[in-house]
Amino acid sequence: MKKTIAFFDAKPYDKIWFDQLVNDRYDIRYLESKCNSDTAALAKGCEAVCAFVNDDLSAATIERLYENGVRVLAMRSAGYSNVDFKAAYGKINVVRVPAYSPYAVAEHAMALLLTLNRKVHKAYNRTRDFNFSLSGLIGTDLHGKTAGVIGTGKIGQVFINICKGFGMRVLAYDPYPIPDASFEYVDLPTLLRESDVISLHCPLTEQTHHILDVNAFRQMKKEAFIINTSRGALIDSAALLAALNLKRIGGAGLDVYEEEADIFFEDYSGEIIQDDVLSLLTSRPNVIITSHQAFLTDEALRNIADVTLKNLDAYFAGEDLENEICYHCDSGKVAGGCRKTRKERCFQAPPIDLRSTDTDSFRN
């Protein structure tokens, strides 16, 4: 029997590979709305929800989804800082796609750096107006410069290799360093002080929230470039704007923004954006902003669809959930140790009360 998936925040590019790989296993209910406590009712009658990074999966949303019969939440992303796992524990199993394409994100980070440094965006706009002047387009050699990489997971490591290919010196900061790494780990103040480029490749946690703040910007070189393809809230946006205005840093290439949830992935070209910080950042000549597109390659989209559907297959087959996320097990609070080390699910969600998921009530 087919299971029904409520697929929130659906875009045309999402459907390409999901439609090709889904076969006859599931019926996908594509929804343009983002998932939140108000739109959670759209998942009534569905056994699963597929969500993305800017969906609001707060405690209120989780409760609504649970009441509507949802027992598994499949994040089609690596990031999951928008999920309230304490609310989900014991009710809804949460799975994710841990690594869809580290190359896609790392290559986009370098694309932002190259564009920012060599002012390719400005040259492109000029020549379209037949302005072939080179004034104001001076860049700098990356060869011999120092790249500071915060976070040395898969994406960070790929970015490091790219930087090495350019002949750059690499410094890295990570609370959990890789043994026998081929690059140098330093403390954060040293990285901030010595780097010509600082690229963020770490998850958003309580410890990394605003890891680049007023104090951090004060420690950087005045010509330093900031690159962020991870999570917007790693940077204090107001502090970044102030640093740019005071010429304390050289520029910023951003694929994410801490208040992006209601803005990115949509077309607001005919409207006035009610976010002064974003508007001012966009207007700065030494800032490049892309709309969370670092992941957007054909290879990554296929991997996202493939792993998401396999995660759901495992859930409905009663198998171990390799890509399950659970704060409770990770914190060691489960009696007898973490269940995942015993190849078990973090918990078994209670059965669905069919009376509460009657599809006729959804139609009403």
For the annotated catalytic residues, the residue numbers are 231, 260, 292
Say how far apart CA 72 and CA 69 lie, in whole Å.
Answer: 9
Helices (H) and strands (E) in the chain, counts: 13, 13
Q: Determine the Cα–Cα distance for residues 10 and 32; give it in Å rounded to an integer.
A: 5
Across the chain, which distance is largest between two alpha carbons, in Å? 71
Q: State how far the Cα of 88 lies from the Cα of 86, in Å rounded to an integer.
A: 5
> End-to-end CA distance of the chain, in Å?
25
- Which residues, 6 or more positions from 144, have their beta carbon under 8 angstroms from its beta carbon? 167, 168, 169
**Which ranges constitute the DSSP H helices of the chain?**
12-21, 59-67, 85-88, 102-118, 120-128, 154-165, 188-194, 214-219, 237-245, 276-283, 298-316, 327-330, 359-363
Burial (0-12, 13-18, 19+ Cβ within 10 Å), 338: middle
Q: Quick one: residue 305, left, alpha or beta (phi over 0 = left, psi -120 to 50 = alpha)? A: alpha
Using DSSP bridges, classify how beta strands 251-254 and 225-228 pair: parallel, antiparallel or unpaired.
parallel
Count CA within 13 A, CB hemisphere, residue 288: 24
C-alpha pair distances (Å), 257 with each of 17, 198, 210, 270, 297? 27, 16, 12, 20, 20
How, if at all, do strands 146-150 and 225-228 pair?
unpaired
CB atoms within 10 A of CB 58: 16
Distance CA 79, CA 96 (A): 8
Q: Kindly report the number of other CB atoms within 10 A of residue 125's CB atom.
A: 10
Separation CA 314–CA 63 (nearest Å): 23
The backbone region for 95, taken as left when phi is positive above 0, alpha when psi lies in -120 to 50, beta otherwise, is: beta
